[in-house]
Amino acid sequence: MACFFLLVTNTNMAISIKAGTLALMFLLHSQALDASVQGIFYQPLARDAQVSQAQWRSLLQTLKTDGISHIIFQWSEYEDVRFVGKDKPLDKIIDLLALQNMTWSMGLKMPSDYYSTMEQPSTVKKAQALPQWFKQNRILMTNLIIAGYSQKQGFAGWYLPMEVSAPYLEGDMLQAWQAGIQDLLRFTSYPIAISFFPSSYGTNSTFDEFYAAVSQPRVDILMQLSNGLSDAQKRLHSASLPCDVSVIIENFKQVSAQNEPFKAIKNSIPKDLYGRTCHAQYIFSLRYQPYSDDLPLTD
């Protein structure tokens, strides 16, 4: 989603996400999904507070009927905006997921200046910022554990919202990523998922280095093959992926220009383009599915 490969707003703040977040394309509606589809991403937004419990219950029932049994919350905190706690959106959804016997992964903290910092040509600011961001995520994860979220029904692990790409691994940055992930693992017994999004040029060599450095038990790596990639580029990047790497299925139509804040609309779901594979698949994102009419796209 990738990732995750991403966006959020509230009344005082507009937060745009990486436009090219995540992968492949999706299949069907009105019948059960392919067995390789494991779950779907949901990005909490402040405007979603207007969605009622009855609307959430109906939406989750639709997901379950369509064969989706797992939700990845993209983040639980975006800069200083927190989406967990009493009467917060994620707590209400988690309670409903338990009633549906669905599982979920808790996203951690997404720094609002993450992409603007990581896309600078110099590695100096990246190298200074990354350990601080990992520290913030460790503190948040520890607080969520203390608050009992990892003991709630359906909890399956954590998701690190800070997506990885080749420019973010230059110089000694790969070692910094490796150290940060290893530090998070020391504080939890549950898996931690992280997304990698490839560029529209080159091969998988940088991903292979990242995979070799961080792949281990309890680290789940997701490959984001965005709509910005051609089918040939998607095949190039996915052809040699190990089966334990998941892919994220992107399904939205971007309507903003490249240098504008990210904006997208719902996309019709195409017929199956890829069929069953050995890779677990996740859809990005819940907001853009045709049946998610109760989730507002704009304020």
The pLDDT assigned to 293 comes to: 86
Nearest partner of 68 among 95, 99, 36, 116, judged by Cα: 36
Here the CATH number for the domain that contains residue 119 is: 3.20.20
- Please give the pLDDT value at position 252: 80
Q: Can you give the pTM of this predicted structure?
A: 0.85
What does the pLDDT profile of the chain (299 residues) look like in tens digits? 433 333 333 433 333 333 333 322 333 333 344 446 789 999 999 889 889 999 999 999 999 988 899 999 999 999 889 999 988 989 999 999 999 999 999 999 999 999 999 998 888 999 999 999 999 999 999 999 999 999 999 999 999 999 999 989 988 999 999 999 999 999 999 999 999 988 765 567 889 999 999 999 999 999 987 777 777 777 777 778 899 999 988 878 788 887 787 788 877 654 444 455 788 889 898 998 888 888 887 65
Query: Is 198 inside a domain boundary?
Result: yes
The answer to whether position 1 is within a domain reads no
d(CA 50, CA 241): 40
Q: Is residue 295 part of a domain?
A: no
Q: Domain containing 246: what range?
A: 8-288
| Residue 69 within a domain | yes
CB 162 within 8 Å of CB 112: no
- The predicted pLDDT at position 23 comes to 29
Q: What is the pLDDT of residue 255?
A: 85
For position 15, what pLDDT does the model report?
35
Q: How far apart are CA 128 and CA 176, in angstroms?
A: 10
Report the pLDDT value the prediction gives residue 14, as an integer from 0 to 100.
35
From the number of C-beta atoms within 10 Å of its C-beta (0-12, 13-18, 19+), residue 213 rates as middle
Task: Indicate whether 259 belongs to any domain.
Answer: yes
Q: What one-character-per-residue DSSP string does 69-96 give? A: -EEEES-SEETTEE--STT-HHHHHHHH
Query: How many C-beta neighbours within 10 Å does residue 160 have?
Result: 26
- 130 Cβ partners below 8 Å, 6+ apart? 173, 176, 177, 180
Q: Domain for residue 49, yes or no?
A: yes
Nearest CA to 256 among 60, 16, 9, 4? Answer: 16
pLDDT at 130: 97
213 is a domain residue: yes
Cα–Cα distance measured from residue 13 to residue 276, given in angstroms and rounded to the nearest whole number: 41
pLDDT the model gives residue 205: 85
Number of domains in the chain: 1
What is the SS3 assignment for 162? Answer: strand
Establish if 297 belongs to a structural domain. no
